Chain A
Amino acid sequence: MQHVRIFDAVRTPRGKGKASVGALAEFSPVELATVPLKALKERSNLDTSAVGDVVLGCVDPVADQGGDIARTAALEAGYDEAVPGVQINRFCASGLEACAIAAGKVASGEVGLAVAGGIEMMSRVPMLSSGMPVLADPGIAIPRKSVPQGISADLIATLRGYSRDDVDALAVESQRRAGRAWEEGRFARSIVPVRDRNGLTVLDRDEAIRPGADMQSLGALNPSFERYAKKIGYDAVSEQKYPEIGALKYVHHAGNSSQIVDGAAAVLLGSETAGKDNGLTPRARILGLASVGSEPTIMLTGPKAACDRALKQAGLGYADIDLWELNEAFASVVLYFQEETGVSPDRMNVNGGAIAMGHPLGATGAMILGTLLDELERADKQFGCATLCAATGQAIAMVIERMEGQSA
């Protein structure tokens, strides 16, 4: 398999996902999705007729996020009308899955260049809007002992004995790192400010970030899932599935879980030849990628299996990877992965994550790939791995190698 090149990666700042207060809430999902698509086109002076496909992740593709938003956004972004678009969904892994599918299209020779990324306006189309039979259909949910993700996150913490202080400390560090990254301009290469059609800036910075968060302020927050779990019985469901853990401990809350936000991201990928033909300089190449399924009730422990496979493809081990981006779906997901793999927190999410900046479901995978690429360049490192857990026990991982300064 030829190594697919990454030529560029951009993202919008993330706006708060509560519609009454979020800066991006007035946008339509299509309009927001065009922001990174236009930026890719303009930054590379790209002849869009050379783009073979636009693949966008979106987890709740209904209403104004529906109707194949990838094609609509490509048209509205002014891409050549010959460029098709496809919207895909692998839950929280969608943004990176879109990149993986695009990479596959390049590797197979189907296309020379592809644009991949994601969009989620959680303010406009709330989570679960497109349905979730694994929780709703009695024929599935009851025998499977399905629980919502927040319960799974608390289940992981209970299973591994992560205390409230453990998860809160990770959240405080995410906020600190994200604050520092913004202060030092570490996202500058990727961020595309969102402007309205009159050119007025609507948002140019991640809106949900709280760099001043500390153990005391987080300590004051009530657990998010306890009351609900006890009221409707999810506590008993998870205990039935994992009888060895005893009573579920509720450590996750709004401050140590990924925040609900709006955002969009896009990545330009292609073959070595297509890059040369279009005057593009590769910034990285993809060495390995893998998607996996794992036990769906605990749900969020899949990233290690995905990374095992992606690393094997790349011919690398955990110690070879200089920088990691693991989506901070919940604090326990990160602690669990670090414990399982021995990856040092110093190499992981060094510029903060979704706990600080938010998790626009369908876009996050592409966002963290861009963040990883920027940081490999800034820190002058070679290998990086981006990975995300996803609903129903899925996970994805992509291993990349920086190519800055190289011609192909």
Chain B
Amino acid sequence: MSKIITLGIDGHGIAELCWDDPDRKVNVFSTDATEEWVGLVDQVASDPSVRGVLITSGKASFHAGADLRMVGGFFDMSAEDLWSVMAPVKDSLYRLETCGKPVAAAINGHCLGGGFEMALAAHARFAVDDPAIKLGLPEAGLGLMPGFGGTQRLARLAPWQRVTADMVQGVTYEVSEARSLGLLTDVVPAGALRDAARRWLLDNPAAEQPWMARGYRGPSAREIERYFHALNAGLTRDGVIDRPEQRLIAEAIYHGLQMPIEPALRLEVRRFIELTRNPSVRQALQERFFGEAA
């Protein structure tokens, strides 16, 4: 029944979830795509014949994140209704990374926002060696914040001070930078992308996220405190009062890093919903993207 994401399972039990929205130039988490995604994750996670999951794109880019029209609609929804939109995505990404099967993303082009968050829930990310490709979480630059776990997974995967600063400012990365931050398993020529990711899946049947591994330790409370003292002062100096998304991103990371991933993911969704309760955020978004006055 899927139209936006197709599922194919090969003879080795590798399930490929290929994003290729027939009605759009780029892949986005629209309402329909989100529903398909949640259903397909459930399917590949529970199907015993599936031994690994490969996320690919049929477009020139990998994934552009959340559909901004859908996000615009979030401002009209009750907190309860918005929770019921966000929570299934949160749960599906958590299920994917904890289902006991390796998951890899084959990043052939731009991988941004919710698309990057989806890739962060994979155990491995392979990207094409192309300096034009951008990866990361630009939400803050749009007055928004990540809501599909990006603040929590990125801060656990890469040097957390550096990526916290980047998330707060909405900075994205080129492939080489993403690789040096430890965000990419490997960088390969375009023609070798799919095979590299597939081979990794077959070679790593017991993949788990580093932050779920026994003995994983996040940064100490003291390190976190020191960093955030300076971040708070700097953001205040630079006018964070008019940038609620910056404060909420910082808050989600500050607290999220001090707890396991499960409550941290809920915490991020709550901060995201909080952001959409803010009329000034709504107005800025409408003016910027839809040319509408609120």
Q: Is there an interface contact between A20 and B79, defined as CB atoms closer than 8 Å?
A: no
Closest chain B residue, CB of each to CB of A66: B221
Contact with B along A196-212 (1 / 0, CB 8 A): 11111000000000000
Complex-state Cα separation, A21 to B262, whole angstroms: 8
Complex-state Cα separation, A361 to B254, whole angstroms: 24
Interface SS of chain B: helix
The residues of A that contact B274 with a CB separation of less than 8 Å are: 196-198
Q: Is there an interface contact between A19 and B263, defined as CB atoms closer than 8 Å?
A: yes
Closest chain B residue, CB of each to CB of A20: B260
Q: Choose among A62, A64, A196 the residue with the greatest number of B CB atoms under 10 Å from its CB.
A: A196
Interface SS of chain A: loop
Known contacts A196-B270, A197-B274, A198-B270: does B260 contact A19 (CB below 8 Å)? yes
**How far does the Cβ of A14 sit from chain B's closest Cβ, in whole Å?**
16
**How far does the Cβ of A124 sit from chain B's closest Cβ, in whole Å?**
6
The residues of A that contact B273 with a CB separation of less than 8 Å are: 198, 200
Q: Is there an interface contact between B259 and A123, defined as CB atoms closer than 8 Å?
A: yes
The residue that B262 contacts in the complex, of A20, A28, A198, with Cβ under 8 A, is A20
Known contacts A25-B259, A25-B263, A64-B258: does B270 contact A200 (CB below 8 Å)? yes
Q: Is there an interface contact between B267 and A26, defined as CB atoms closer than 8 Å?
A: yes
B window 184-240: CB within 8 A of A: 221, 225
The residue that A63 contacts in the complex, of B221, B264, B267, with Cβ under 8 A, is B221
The residues of A that contact B59 with a CB separation of less than 8 Å are: none
The residues of A that contact B225 with a CB separation of less than 8 Å are: 63
A window 6-65: CB within 8 A of B: 19-22, 25-26, 28, 62-64
The residue that A124 contacts in the complex, of B80, B259, B277, with Cβ under 8 A, is B259
The residues of B that contact A198 with a CB separation of less than 8 Å are: 79, 83, 270, 273-274, 277
The residues of B that contact A22 with a CB separation of less than 8 Å are: 263
B window 242-294: CB within 8 A of A: 255, 258-260, 262-264, 266-267, 270, 273-274, 277
Known contacts A197-B274, A199-B79: does B266 contact A124 (CB below 8 Å)? no
Q: Is there an interface contact between A63 and B258, defined as CB atoms closer than 8 Å?
A: yes
Complex-state Cα separation, A20 to B263, whole angstroms: 6
Closest chain B residue, CB of each to CB of A23: B263
Q: Is there an interface contact between B255 and A28, defined as CB atoms closer than 8 Å?
A: yes
Complex-state Cα separation, A299 to B168, whole angstroms: 50
**How far does the Cβ of B160 sit from chain A's closest Cβ, in whole Å?**
16
Q: Which 6 A-B pairs have the closest CB atoms?
A: A26-B263, A198-B79, A63-B221, A25-B263, A26-B267, A20-B260
Residue ranges of A at the interface with B (Cβ–Cβ < 8 Å): 19-22, 25-26, 28, 62-64, 123-124, 196-200
A-B contact pairs, 8 of them (CB 8 A): A19-B260, A19-B263, A25-B263, A28-B255, A62-B221, A63-B225, A64-B221, A198-B79
With A26-B259, A63-B258, A123-B263 given, name 4 new contacts (CB 8 A). Answer: A19-B263, A22-B263, A198-B83, A198-B277
